[in-house]
Structure 1
């Protein structure tokens, strides 16, 4: 059962199919542009969408809003220092701000950043400074149905080859995303993290954690990695941070707050460069674009998130939804993770070609039939077309991510999601594809406009 009781409730919108159809047409079939009051179950993202606890709200009431050197900053600094072990800590208003500051300070144009899988904003911030973002997930990640427990790992053989051959494009950093969101929410093993750190150290390349979901990664390590069954998630997390040279974090995930993030570093010179840029673009180094109450709530969230009872329930409710989806006849990326489940839309809708976007088609159907908002992770997200709309590059898989907000929805909400999927799966051939009418050259999925494909 949930290790909490509900103290405050918020009504959710209940709309008609006609209202949803009109709303989707109005926003040119871009689910990001829907108003929140047009969505019944919102699984678009787990970023900043969680429910804060009574203890977090109480901590926020103690927020010190002094411009410099606030008590909130020092409370936050002590908590994050104990967790990560990094001597240099800089708050930022969210993860992509931390990425921008770190990459601008660390990278030089023409270099490469290697990752198990970059998330979309991470990739964008690498490319915006003139660098290449290169993904080398482990071979097991290619089999979406495999029960392999650590499909978030990086390919160590490929990494060693890249690090040994840096003449054309030097490697400026290796970013390890835990858990591997772009790779289906799969965890990274401590063995893989340790061996990656050893390779990076040998070649004098910094290893940086994208630690947005560090606690969920730690939980899965304690469940499935030999030698860690008697460790607590907190102990595993502390070890992971100390293996790396630094981290970037969106606290909107495993900080369980609505806004916030940070940079943690061992290198004092790099930290100083980051601090100068932070002050110029985000705010003074002791608030980094955040209110004092945000820092206090983040500190409390970072303590709560490694509680075994919290993580056990999060894993249980994800497993409950995963089994209901399987029972509905829809395949997911296996094994089921914690922060999201990834539907195999390409397998459910084989009649829709990649560049009519089966993932987006399924996401639209979830909204039209059940008021459920989700996110496509397929050829709309990763694909490319020429100026005439002809395919140049397709995604390796056509997926839909159901991101699970923390402490927000109950099992009956998720049963509604599964039942909606079951209804779609009864007649998948009735689902049609889409074509792009307008798009941005970067991060196009956020602002894209589409229309139903003809024929």
Structure 2
């Protein structure tokens, strides 16, 4: 919850107490430059021992509750017929109202299976916005992704509460032009990752459902970031203010033919799954679970993780529980704005998103400004964020660079992990970096994989700007880390 101090300041208040701690390390700035070089200026390749605040992602790094930890001790360890799986399956059925549940080891496994079953060569998958792995799985199976977001989605400074909504007119036009038989399915992502964690509304999802009904198409709903989206629907959508989180969840789930999620995000453990009420869809996907993931009652997950997910899904129905992430993200975004740092507004879910295009207007997109800014933030603070820009795209077939719609650095906010003082530290160092932004230059690939290059590609700074930045840091902060 947020609370107002006597001084007039409003801050997010941690609604938990810390019972287990992990020691952190903050290397000196010179060591951070060295670590960044060794990682090929790719924050994914940094060693965690060299990172002070790991804000790369909220995937699989959220702190579990005491109830989740306790549940892991009750796990029924069995290859087939595990009582633990039955417990998870029952919780999924209770919350989402779906009859069938297929377990997987994480969200991209769901994408792989759904794409293999439904995506055929020369078919199209309309999306409110793509995610990196969701797009690759579609294209690997011969399909194409078409984004049908509304125009406001790309407006980084906005007051639109639901920039993740799909443009219904554009969607209808696309279906008419391609032909319904050429649409593999329609995918809606809850909490659009690549445009700042922006939510969609319940009303918009209902409108997408109506289009699916009209053209006899499947609606596939990625609910990995559902927790944040539920908070925003409850807070921002007038028709939902008096509804419980559980009621909103069921109404959302009722719109989809197939739901899938990464439990590294939804449920705060490690795993995933596909949910449906269609026996036909269930049977089409079932064999792929045993082929790629494991038997139908574990799907690549440990039973301990399944116990934790069961509790985590129930905790996601707690309004206070799911509000803390968005509230801490909003606080960080607002504090950066006060210091002139350009961020995506309104603040979305998953993390605070910094606009690298406005932060580094002197760095062209072909020199990967978001990647350069992520590297610079690590050098200045020891905090590891993630590039969400052109580096996260893949080149066209002719080798030309695919420029992204946005150049963002995501400073993820894992749930119940950081204290407010740590968030304030990150804000301070990013604000210092913004005041010295002219020192930051671009980057170029030296090792460039053809697919998902942002995961393990390596780059180099085009000048000695990292050393110049470190020298300025030492000049301003002295012996301070």
> Which structure 2 segments of 5+ residues have no match?
1-12, 465-481
SS at match of 1:275: helix
Alignment of 1:150-165 (within 5 A): 150-165=162-177
Which of the numbers 268, 276, 283 marks the counterpart of 2:287?
Answer: 276
| 8 Å Cα contact 2:132-2:393 kept in structure 1 | no
Name the counterpart of 2:148. 136
Which of the numbers 393, 401, 405 marks the counterpart of 1:382?
Answer: 393
Q: CA deviation at 1:121?
A: 0.8
Name the counterpart of 1:397. 406
- C-alpha separation between the residues in 2 aligned to 1:278 and 1:311? 30
- C-alpha separation between the residues in 2 aligned to 1:392 and 1:55? 47
1:390-431 CA-to-partner distances (Å, cap 9, x unmatched) read x64321221111111111011111111101111111121111
1:327-361 CA-to-partner distances (Å, cap 9, x unmatched) read 22111111001311210111011111111111111
> Which structure 1 segments of 5+ residues have no match?
none
- C-alpha separation between the residues in 2 aligned to 1:232 and 1:69? 34
Name the counterpart of 2:242. 230
- C-alpha separation between the residues in 2 aligned to 1:216 and 1:358? 28
Q: CA deviation at 1:310?
A: 1.3
1:284-324 CA-to-partner distances (Å, cap 9, x unmatched) read 11110111111111010001122111123223211211111
Aligned residues: 452
Alignment of 1:39-54 (within 5 A): 39-54=51-66
- C-alpha separation between the residues in 2 aligned to 1:315 and 1:142? 20
Which of the numbers 443, 446, 450 marks the counterpart of 1:437?
Answer: 446
Q: CA deviation at 1:178?
A: 0.3
SS at match of 1:294: helix
1:331 aligns with 2:342: yes
- C-alpha separation between the residues in 1 aligned to 2:403 and 2:42? 20
1:170 aligns with 2:182: yes
| 8 Å Cα contact 1:434-1:452 kept in structure 2 | yes
Which of the numbers 318, 324, 331 marks the counterpart of 1:313?
Answer: 324
| 8 Å Cα contact 2:106-2:264 kept in structure 1 | yes
Q: Decide which moves more: 172-181 or 267-276.
A: 267-276
Name the counterpart of 1:192. 204
SS at match of 2:178: coil
Q: 1:397 to 1:155 in 2, by over 3 A?
A: same
| 8 Å Cα contact 2:131-2:194 kept in structure 1 | yes
1:205-244 CA-to-partner distances (Å, cap 9, x unmatched) read 1001100011211110111112111112221111101111
SS at match of 1:401: strand
Q: Decide which moves more: 314-323 or 194-203.
A: 314-323
1:60 aligns with 2:72: yes
Name the counterpart of 1:406. 415
| 8 Å Cα contact 1:215-1:233 kept in structure 2 | no
Which of the numbers 256, 259, 262 marks the counterpart of 2:273?
Answer: 262
Name the counterpart of 2:460. 451
Q: CA deviation at 1:49?
A: 0.7
TM-score, with normalisation over the residues of structure 1? 0.96
- C-alpha separation between the residues in 2 aligned to 1:411 and 1:282? 39
Name the counterpart of 2:14. 2
Name the counterpart of 1:428. 437
Name the counterpart of 1:111. 123
SS at match of 1:98: helix
| 8 Å Cα contact 1:208-1:246 kept in structure 2 | yes
Q: 1:386 to 1:165 in 2, by over 3 A?
A: closer
Q: CA deviation at 1:267?
A: 2.0
| 8 Å Cα contact 1:76-1:298 kept in structure 2 | yes
- C-alpha separation between the residues in 1 aligned to 2:147 and 2:25? 39
| 8 Å Cα contact 1:86-1:246 kept in structure 2 | no
SS at match of 1:393: coil
Q: CA deviation at 1:278?
A: 0.6
Q: CA deviation at 1:153?
A: 0.4
Q: CA deviation at 1:169?
A: 7.4
Q: CA deviation at 1:3?
A: 1.6
Q: CA deviation at 1:25?
A: 1.1
1:97-134 CA-to-partner distances (Å, cap 9, x unmatched) read 11111211222222111100111111111111111111
TM-score, with normalisation over the residues of structure 2? 0.91
